[in-house]
Structure 1
């Protein structure tokens, strides 16, 4: 940082002169240079921002005229040595300097002015060189990030590392889009309200440093250091360079996912990969990114099936973005909030905060129906399912539950979801798993081997052997209930079961045999359901 008048007076070379401060005006202002002269008129030699060193002859002869000339020339102050040529300064000279807004310091011991100028100029030149080097490093860093098409988080993190300050990128509605790694959770608490307060005036405004992102007439965000920075000038310069890199990123990525959804997806990835493990940190970021506080959060996955994959990867990418947008819009339109992340082709993971936790089932049923209706408007989508993992009180646990929700969605998609609004783990169970594995040759071979005799039944009997066996297994071997369901007499049913037993060569009353046969029937049914689609 540039040296101020007060810092110059505090240097050892000046302190050896036993300085006495007669006027402390301009004390915290940075000096541009130190000039040593005993001339009465320095107006032609000064450019403004200097600190003048003098033995005081001209000051003693006409203090007001001398100080007025320095003030008009833009000098910041005067250091005068008392005792060599001037025994003492005129009375009231401190008040004159104060009136003219000049610093005035008297040295009561003899010092070498060259020592002072050398110490100050060395510091000034070093500061200037450091600023040039820092400026070059900032330029090279953000140019490199732009060339590498770094993410929003990558650019924000680079700015934070350079400044050793926390940095947040927000949109014009004061929703955080990205926050630097390691930012304290309390800096993100109640972000939207505090950010709006910063735009105000007076004592209520936050002491933040803010730079707009995007062309002046088309700004789409703000970069914020959410506290008073150690170096305001350097902070502003870095934020401006980072803002230019972000504007370039926006131009390059304009056909990709919206910035808000990129930020949310980045948070989910950070939690899944262990980069964020602290719940308070995750919660602060999530709430700054638009997720409301609630008693429990639901990990959920929306998975869709398409008519046929496209041969155009760009078209597929755009359809996936449209799918993600449809899911996010539907959730928000229903009054809920969430974090959203594209997990794969036609699959979106989300952490849901429902608007009303008192009627969870009703809210999920309504949301599932709305999602099915809206995502079917996306080009190529034929069917979709909403799958829910176990609810969690902590956001990090809900994010971890996305893996289970994704599994449920995959299994549910293998079934015939029909009009069912949503699926939980209890809704898929073994039948869902077998539907998922129906194309595995080993599973198919197992089913064929177990049921070969009833699958080849050509007796023409109604119901068929397979139907009788299926219902027998569904009712866990309850023959009385089976006879009633099939509208058969018990003797006829017992004869039919005996024939099936002999054909299969297994004991139908044995628990393991019943389990094996039931699994085989489920595999056959799953394959038949797939063929009928």
Structure 2
């Protein structure tokens, strides 16, 4: 009889429940009489016996098949028979109720229940020899498959190491191989990387939970949640650890044909794989298998090597990635975003967040400024994420107590940024009361940065620019690349600019002085150093060239906006612009 080798998920040995679900045994109508909570035990071999002392031929993990003929008649003998099987570590006892018995003996049920040994009754005749052939073929096939998969794991992580993969890529590979969430943390329990990205909700309350899972010297289970953990080292010292979280297996199994009800007069339990753990707590999901251990071992090894070969501190990378996720709103939910921020050491409850952008002059070493700013904030005890958002632009997220003045904190940050690079431009967004609003705060800071030309003087007594500083001139500077703004300036002032260019006149300068004087010809003449008559003549020429009435307040305003636009375009002219200077 052929059996489907895919009936057992790859990566683990077949269990008692898996074997009972095989057609070769399902035909015997197997019924788990007792020990259903232990049918997730692995079956390492099948042993047929009609001996009164079969344990002497076992090594542990065997599925013992018997017709019941050798069972002792007295309860003490039955208990001794079961105790020997349990002591050697038999996986389960399967008794055929055809020849000697037609229902499981009460003494046998009691003995198996007392020792936690699964007892399975077969209502129909089963060819035990065929069972051994099928199950042994299945076991050997899965052992070979496990070896192939283990070899594949080693080859995959070797390739990652050889090409210098970073921690994100290494953890992503581990998560994909196992279908479980994998987290990298440092010694102070900051969760730096979590893969897959959709598992960020698993970081909720990370530091508290992590501190309940003690460190181990090698791969092993730790903590009340049953984490699988492995140490990550740097230059011979423990640097942190990688954690694999328990969870549902990604492999779906079909419904089991095994009957779970007890026969009349007996008590039975379900053979489901998930019941209770050895500590009596409900299991969170399938136990970790040998392949999970292998993957985590290779993950820790690859991370240890990567830590030696990659100069950038992983904390900096973690801050960068977290900031970019917040700015681009890549989290699945606000709860995920809060968990990610808290896992990196920031407070998310009862906190106010302030987004800051630090733009560096071209050619400056942004990574050096990032390190200096991060160290400066760390020395002051500030809760902040610091990271490069793009070349030349640093992002900072400050987490402050609501009672703490945010302007004072922004001022200290601005001073630190200017100390790190005096040519930097610091722009601050409006405060946010929740992590979900951080993206808006960064957008505010970005709009301020767009409206701040390089070298613009800082407001008196301040080290940063904010939204309230953006007036008409800075708004037009922010919109300087918009073709509609460029077209407006050209339509309003083009004829005047062309006249000055052809004839060497200074009509644009005269118009500027007149508008700056709020329409006073006398003040304009004084400010430009011209006679009043000359000013009158030039203003008439301007009205004729532009077809405008300079006595109209509305038209003066339109021209004044056009001149402000011209200034913005000249400060940072768009590609191909041919705007001449009027001064």
Residue 261 (structure 2) pairs with residue 246 (structure 1): no
Residue 211 (structure 2) pairs with residue 191 (structure 1): no
User: Matched residues in 2 for 1:448 and 1:235: separation?
Assistant: 74
2:286 alignment partner, SS class = coil
Task: Tell me how far 1:474 sits from its aligned partner.
Answer: 4.2
1:2 alignment partner, SS class = coil
User: Matched residues in 2 for 1:341 and 1:396: separation?
Assistant: 19
Q: What's the counterpart of residue 424 of structure 1? A: 466
Task: Tell me how far 1:430 sits from its aligned partner.
Answer: 4.7
Please give the residue correspondences for 1:363-402 in structure 2 after superposition, counting only pairs within 5 Å.
363-373=409-419, 375-376=420-421, 382-393=422-433, 395=435, 398-399=438-439, 402=442
Task: List alignment gaps of at least 5 residues for structure 1.
Answer: 310-315, 377-381, 458-464, 528-533
Deviations 1:24-47 (A, max 9, x none): 897553221012244566677533
Residue 448 (structure 2) pairs with residue 408 (structure 1): yes
Q: What's the counterpart of residue 211 of structure 1? A: 230
Q: Judging changes above 3 Å, is the alpha-carbon distance between structure 1 residues 506 and 395 closer, same or farther for their aligned structure 2 residues?
A: farther
Task: Tell me how far 1:114 sits from its aligned partner.
Answer: 1.5
User: Matched residues in 2 for 1:357 and 1:331: separation?
Assistant: 19
Deviations 1:317-348 (A, max 9, x none): xx322211223333444554334331344320
Task: Tell me how far 1:177 sits from its aligned partner.
Answer: 1.2
Question: In the alignment, is the contact (CA less than 8 A) between 2:97 and 2:121 conserved in 1?
Answer: yes
1:51 alignment partner, SS class = strand
Residue 335 (structure 2) pairs with residue 280 (structure 1): yes
Task: List alignment gaps of at least 5 residues for structure 2.
Answer: 1-11, 216-221, 248-283, 544-549, 574-583
User: Matched residues in 2 for 1:338 and 1:421: separation?
Assistant: 18
Task: Tell me how far 1:302 sits from its aligned partner.
Answer: 0.5
Task: Tell me how far 1:160 sits from its aligned partner.
Answer: 2.5
Aligned residues: 492
Task: Tell me how far 1:214 sits from its aligned partner.
Answer: 3.3
Question: In the alignment, is the contact (CA less than 8 A) between 2:356 and 2:396 conserved in 1?
Answer: yes
Please give the residue correspondences for 1:132-531 in structure 2 after superposition, counting only pairs within 5 Å.
132-181=147-196, 183=198, 186-199=201-214, 205-214=224-233, 217-225=237-245, 228-233=284-289, 234-253=291-310, 255-256=311-312, 258-270=313-325, 275-276=330-331, 278-293=333-348, 297-305=353-361, 309=363, 319-356=365-402, 359-373=405-419, 375-376=420-421, 382-393=422-433, 395=435, 398-399=438-439, 402=442, 405-406=445-446, 408-409=448-449, 411-417=451-457, 420-432=462-474, 473-474=515-516, 476-477=518-519, 496-503=531-538, 505-506=541-542, 509=551, 511=556, 512-517=558-563
- Root-mean-square deviation over aligned CA pairs: 5.0
Question: In the alignment, is the contact (CA less than 8 A) between 1:40 and 1:58 conserved in 2?
Answer: yes
Q: Judging changes above 3 Å, is the alpha-carbon distance between structure 1 residues 452 and 63 closer, same or farther for their aligned structure 2 residues?
A: closer
Q: Judging changes above 3 Å, is the alpha-carbon distance between structure 1 residues 432 and 498 closer, same or farther for their aligned structure 2 residues?
A: farther
Using CA pairs under 8 Å that are at least 6 residues apart, name the structure with larger relative contact order, 1 or 2. Answer: 2
Q: TM-score, normalised by structure 2?
A: 0.66
Question: In the alignment, is the contact (CA less than 8 A) between 1:35 and 1:52 conserved in 2?
Answer: yes
Question: In the alignment, is the contact (CA less than 8 A) between 2:360 and 2:366 conserved in 1?
Answer: no
Deviations 1:4-29 (A, max 9, x none): 44655666627727768588897553
Question: In the alignment, is the contact (CA less than 8 A) between 2:360 and 2:423 conserved in 1?
Answer: yes
User: Matched residues in 2 for 1:283 and 1:383: separation?
Assistant: 34
User: Matched residues in 2 for 1:219 and 1:140: separation?
Assistant: 25
Task: Tell me how far 1:171 sits from its aligned partner.
Answer: 2.1
User: Matched residues in 2 for 1:526 and 1:73: separation?
Assistant: 83
More helix by share: 1
User: Matched residues in 2 for 1:52 and 1:522: separation?
Assistant: 87
Question: In the alignment, is the contact (CA less than 8 A) between 1:23 and 1:95 conserved in 2?
Answer: no
2:229 alignment partner, SS class = strand
Q: Judging changes above 3 Å, is the alpha-carbon distance between structure 1 residues 30 and 18 closer, same or farther for their aligned structure 2 residues?
A: closer
Q: Judging changes above 3 Å, is the alpha-carbon distance between structure 1 residues 289 and 179 closer, same or farther for their aligned structure 2 residues?
A: same
Q: Judging changes above 3 Å, is the alpha-carbon distance between structure 1 residues 24 and 411 closer, same or farther for their aligned structure 2 residues?
A: closer
Q: Judging changes above 3 Å, is the alpha-carbon distance between structure 1 residues 185 and 63 closer, same or farther for their aligned structure 2 residues?
A: closer
Task: Tell me how far 1:386 sits from its aligned partner.
Answer: 0.9
Question: In the alignment, is the contact (CA less than 8 A) between 1:5 and 1:31 conserved in 2?
Answer: yes
- Paired residue for 1:2, among 5, 8, 13? 13
Question: In the alignment, is the contact (CA less than 8 A) between 1:384 and 1:413 conserved in 2?
Answer: no
User: Matched residues in 2 for 1:18 and 1:405: separation?
Assistant: 69
Question: In the alignment, is the contact (CA less than 8 A) between 1:167 and 1:225 conserved in 2?
Answer: yes
Question: In the alignment, is the contact (CA less than 8 A) between 1:385 and 1:413 conserved in 2?
Answer: no
Question: In the alignment, is the contact (CA less than 8 A) between 1:171 and 1:220 conserved in 2?
Answer: yes
Question: In the alignment, is the contact (CA less than 8 A) between 2:354 and 2:431 conserved in 1?
Answer: yes
Task: Tell me how far 1:72 sits from its aligned partner.
Answer: 6.8
Deviations 1:424-470 (A, max 9, x none): 244244544787979xx9999989768889x989xxxxxxx97x987
Task: Tell me how far 1:261 sits from its aligned partner.
Answer: 2.7
User: Matched residues in 1 for 2:104 and 2:409: separation?
Assistant: 84
Q: Judging changes above 3 Å, is the alpha-carbon distance between structure 1 residues 198 and 7 closer, same or farther for their aligned structure 2 residues?
A: same
User: Matched residues in 2 for 1:24 and 1:434: separation?
Assistant: 75
Q: TM-score, normalised by structure 1?
A: 0.72
